[in-house]
Amino acid sequence: MEDNQGQDHHSPSNHGTERSEPVRSRWTPKPEQILILESIFNSGMVNPPKNETVRIRKLLEKFGSVGDANVFYWFQNRRSRSRRRQRQMQASGGTSNGFANSPSSYLVGSSSSSGVVGEDHGVESLFSFSNQMGFQESEQTSGVTSILCPSETSSLHYQTAGFITIFINGVPTEVPRTPLDVKAMFGQDVMLVHSSGVPVPTNEYGFLVQILHHGESYFLVNISAV
Amino acid sequence: MEDNQGQDHHSPSNHGTERSEPVRSRWTPKPEQILILESIFNSGMVNPPKNETVRIRKLLEKFGSVGDANVFYWFQNRRSRSRRRQRQMQASGGTSNGFANSPSSYLVGSSSSSGVVGEDHGVESLFSFSNQMGFQESEQTSGVTSILCPSETSSLHYQTAGFITIFINGVPTEVPRTPLDVKAMFGQDVMLVHSSGVPVPTNEYGFLVQILHHGESYFLVNISAV
DNA sequence: GCAAATTAATGATTTATTCAAG
DNA sequence: CTTGAATAAATCATTAATTTGC
């Protein structure tokens, strides 16, 4: 019956849609939020320390009300279910390609020794010591690097004036709402394609004709390749 | 109208995880299947005619047992809910970026969905009359073009020998399981990035060092842009 | 095409276990 | 040995997805 897991917990994240909701018992993550969370989890940060959790929460807030506790729970459940599925798969010769979990590459540098970074238990031990820390304010726990964009490292977190957050190749990125010069920003022979597969039109100078939409996913693709 | 729908259906799609499942009444789409379905829906084909439905089902079968009926129902519900959401959004000043759905499993980390490219109502009306699909066998309803890769137009549908299906920029694509020459296949300055954001390593000749995984999502990105 | 009825997914809680201090 | 922190496993509870009947 501990009160909380070291995470601030409580703060039930009123996430109410600023309306008179009698009770909305549970947080329903927006698709964009899931995208961010998955992105972080798959990058190898399967158990973010408290300070990272806070940063993640702040990023998520751009897409809807969330509390640190929600983030904490999400990772806890994600780890747990990932492990369980892994187990069940092994117990039944699952040839099926699981997309579900694949925290394959880690940026963790320090803790060496152990060999294969196979599955969870291995991962778990890798990070286990970085969890309890209740301090380490502005320092990365170990070799753990955040995948959040730099703009997040500073303060200021609610929807910045002229900027929106979109996903480029899966990475949350801030871009000005202003007509964007794609060529100047990303290179000569590339174009942006919306996740639905529809290219984002540009004029003959390479400027976007259409504005990008906050929260959407886009991919940079080589023109010669498409 | 269970029987009609023109779907052969009642191939109860025992969707059993290729195991000896006694009975499982309902189809549980695999994440990869959802990806495919979303991909098609978002491409504008919101109400595929019967012949397309069959082709879609065959593609989906690469990732698990499915019946034509399952596919049909999926599109019917997808249309219906999309419209409802559209209405609700309009009725409550939806400032929130709408990402249409949230595929159950979160691997969706990559593809996501619509929002931007005109949501339904507009598109739907285009196809609304083609749904009863009790007939119109082999004819495209209108200007509907399939987004499925060409290899799907032929017969043969279960996991072809040396080929796997992956998603490149959201498009289902068949590639050989063999070490792939990325430069030769897609162009000089591009690289493949897994949907998790992790680049797929290649050797100095541009050949993949690591094999691609059936059902995974990858994106072609310009090297100079990343 | 809609909506009630079912079933699956998954956020939130609870319980049990482990490890390090003291 | 006891205590507290942290978390994995199990469970509960609510929401979303799918099926069914009209």
How many CB atoms sit inside 10 A of residue B64's CB?
A: 18
Q: Looking at the predicted structure, is the pLDDT value of residue B147 above 90?
A: no
pLDDT over 70 for what percent of chain B? 17
- pLDDT on residue B61: 75
Residue type, A59: L
Say which residues have a Cβ less than 8 Å from residue A193's Cβ, sequence separation at least 6.
A199, A200, A218, A219, A220, A221, A226, B169, B170
Q: Does B224 sit within 8 Å of A221, measured CB to CB?
A: no
pLDDT at position B110 is: 30
Q: In whole angstroms, what is the distance from residue B71 CA to residue A176 CA? A: 40
Distances in whole angstroms, Cα of residue A52 to Cα of each of A28, A62, A109 = 21, 16, 18
At residue A67, the pLDDT reads 93
Helix, coil or strand: residue A59 = helix
∠ CA B42-B47-B53 to the nearest 5 degrees? 100
| CATH topology (fold) of B163-225 | Ubiquitin-like (UB roll) (3.10.20)
Please give the nucleotide, over all strands, whose C1' is closest to the CA of residue B76. C1
Instruction: Work out the minimum CA distance from B102 to partner chain A, whole angstroms.
Output: 6
Contacts of B111 in chain A (CB under 8 A): 195, 217
Query: Token pair of B176, please?
Result: 């050989």
Nearest-CA neighbor of A174 among A183, A184, A164?
Answer: A164
Band of pLDDT at residue A28, cut at 50, 70 and 90: very high
Arithmetic mean of pLDDT, B121-139: 27
Whole-model pTM: value is: 0.41
More confident residue, A117 or A35: A35
Nearest CA in chain A to B171: A197
pLDDT band at A66 (very low <50, low <70, confident <90, very high): very high
Interface test with B, best of A99, A190, A226 (most B CBs within 10 A): A99
CA nearest B96 in A: which residue? A63
Hey, where are the domains in chain B?
Answer: 31-148, 163-225
Query: Which of A180, A195, A216 to probe the B interface (max B CBs under 10 A)?
Result: A195
Distance A87 CA to D8 C1' (A): 14
Give the distance, in angstroms, between residue A131 CA and nucleotide D7 C1': 9
pLDDT surpasses 50 at A198 = yes
How far does the CA of residue B10 sit from the closest CA of chain A (Å)? 24
Question: Which residue places its CA closest to the C1' of nucleotide D9?
Answer: A80
Q: Is the CB of residue A171 less than 8 Å from the CB of residue B109?
A: no
Choose the weakest-confidence range: A137-146, A212-221, B210-219.
A137-146
Model pLDDT, residue B54: 74
B215 contact residues in A (CB cutoff 8 A): 97, 99
C-beta of residue B187 within 8 angstroms of C-beta of residue A222: yes
Nucleotides of C under 7 A from a protein CB: 1-3, 7-16
CB-count burial class (<10 Å; 0-12, 13-18, 19+) for A61: middle
pLDDT at residue A159 tops 80: no
Element (H, E) at A24: none
For B226, which residue in chain A has the nearest alpha carbon? A186
Q: How confident is the model at residue B74 (pLDDT cuts 50, 70, 90)?
A: confident
In this structure, how many other beta carbons lie within 10 angstroms of the beta carbon of residue A159? 14
Residues A193/A197/A198/A203 CA torsion (nearest 10 deg): 20
Q: How far apart are CA B204 and CA B208, in angstroms?
A: 10
Burial (CB count <10 Å: 0-12, 13-18, 19+), residue B136 = middle
pLDDT digits (tens, 9 = 90+) for B176-198: 655 666 666 666 656 677 665 55
- Find the residue closest to C2 using CA and C1' atoms: B80
How many Cβ atoms sit within 10 Å of the Cβ of residue A162?
A: 9
Which residues, by CB, come closer than 7 Å to strand D? A 2, 5-6, 24-26, 28, 47, 76-77, 79-80, 83-84, 124, 128, 131-134; B 1-2, 25-29, 34, 70, 73-74, 77, 81, 101-104
B102 Cβ contact list (under 8 Å, min separation 6) = A29, A30, A31, A34, B108
Q: What pLDDT score does A74 carry? A: 94
- Contacts of B131 by beta carbon, 8 Å cutoff, 6+ apart: B47, B76
pLDDT given for residue B178 in this prediction: 56
Q: Is the four-CA dihedral B36, B191, A99, A199 of positive or negative sign?
A: negative
CB B17 to CB A94 under 8 A?
A: yes
**C-alpha–C-alpha distance, residues A104 and B216, integer Å:** 14
Most confident listed range (A180-194, B5-19, B61-75): B61-75
Under the banding of pLDDT at 50, 70 and 90, the label for residue A220 is confident
Place of tokens 């043969």: B156
For residue B43, which residues of chain A lie inside 8 Å, CB to CB? 196-198
Whole-number pLDDT of residue B146: 47
Q: What is the mean pLDDT of chain A?
A: 60
pLDDT in tens, A80-136: 888 887 776 556 554 433 333 333 332 222 222 232 233 333 323 222 222 322 222
Q: How far apart are CA B219 and CA B170, in angstroms?
A: 8
Tell whether the model's pLDDT for residue A65 goes beyond 80. Answer: yes
> Is the shortest CB-to-strand distance from B85 to strand C under 7 Å?
no
Are B188 and A30 inside 8 Å of each other by CB? no
Instruction: Check CB contact under 8 Å for A189 and B189.
Output: yes
pLDDT of residue A26: 94
Whether the predicted pLDDT of A2 surpasses 90: no
Sheet harboring B217-222: ordered strands across? B171-176, B163-168, B217-222, B190-194
pLDDT at A25: 81
Q: Tell me: pLDDT of A172 over 60.
A: yes
Q: Measured in angstroms, what separates residue B67's CA from nucleotide C1's C1'?
A: 22
Which tokens belong to B170? 């959201």
List helix spans (H) across chain A: 31-42, 50-60, 68-90, 120-128, 182-186
